[in-house]
Amino acid sequence: MSHRLSAPAAADPPGEQQALLLAWFETSRRDLPWRRSRDPWAVLVSELMLQQTQVARVAPKFLAFLERFPDVGSCAAADLAEVVTLWAGLGYNRRARNLHQCASVVVERHGGVFPDELDALLALPGVGPYTARAVLAFAFERDVGVIDANAARVLARWQARPLKRREAQELADAAVPPGHGWSWNQAMLDLGATVCTARNPSCGSCAVAATCGWARDGRPGPDPSVGTFGVSGRQSRFADSDRQGRGRLVDALRSGPVTGPDLAAAMGWPADPQRAERVAVTLVADGLVRCSASGVWHLA
């Protein structure tokens, strides 16, 4: 099935709900550094950094990353180890690898120019449905709906019922006022992040509460965002998990190689070298780490 999307339509007057939200956004929008650019490379970097990472942590990392890698070509030409090193503090180091692979593909297959069609974006390493639509909306200003946990929560509450993937995307696409793809999606993300929050939503100060089905009904339980596509549930325990050990090893390798006898301690399991090696091997399989013939571990 083709996902080809048309160019932005001429702006039409938005409907009541749309006009209210856009007006609120104009006066309440967050000043975020990635919003000052329409460069698809900058947009992609920000979106990968923002996945399950707080905005306050991402902002300085985003600026530092773009200072070193101002365009897709500079990232593609760099070693993966340098990209992973700059990713410190952002978690999920596979995203750094995906970003590096994506940059390489854009250079090799697209001459360093990001594609502006959904299918071509989805074919890039590490680019899923959300990220592809974010690039279309925030770099190319296309009229497509962008659904993260915040936007999905808003949509479900407006409809006063949980939403499955296809329905959520259809509603998100239909809600975009023609010609306002960038501002509408940014407004949806801000509304979910600052007003229509997961806990204790501020319905009394919401600009569109009068058009929200859940608010009109008196906010009966259960919250319709629970079980909605894109709204994450409770994460698995991180303390003493394999994920934590992986992160510790990558952090240690950012400072230099780790020898075999030091591996378990670097991963936080000094009394369990078998577990340490088992988990370290998964980083090798992910292309983030390599182990030399002499048993010394390095960033890939």
Active site residues: 47
HEC string of 82-132? HHHHHCCCCCCCHHHHHHHHHHHHHHHHHCCCCCCCHHHHHCCCCCCHHHH
* Residues 62 and 78: beta-carbon distance below 8 Å: no
Q: Alpha-carbon distance 71 to 69, whole Å?
A: 6
Q: Alpha-carbon distance 193 to 70, whole Å?
A: 28
Q: Which residues contact 233 (CB under 8 A, 6 or more apart)?
A: none
- Cis ω for the linkage preceding 129 (within 30 of 0): no
Q: Alpha-carbon distance 53 to 11, whole Å?
A: 33
- Show the tokens assigned to 229: 């596509």
Q: Alpha-carbon distance 161 to 168, whole Å?
A: 11
CA distances (Å), 140 to each of 133, 143, 165, 195, in order? 10, 9, 24, 27
Q: How is residue 296 annotated by DSSP?
A: E
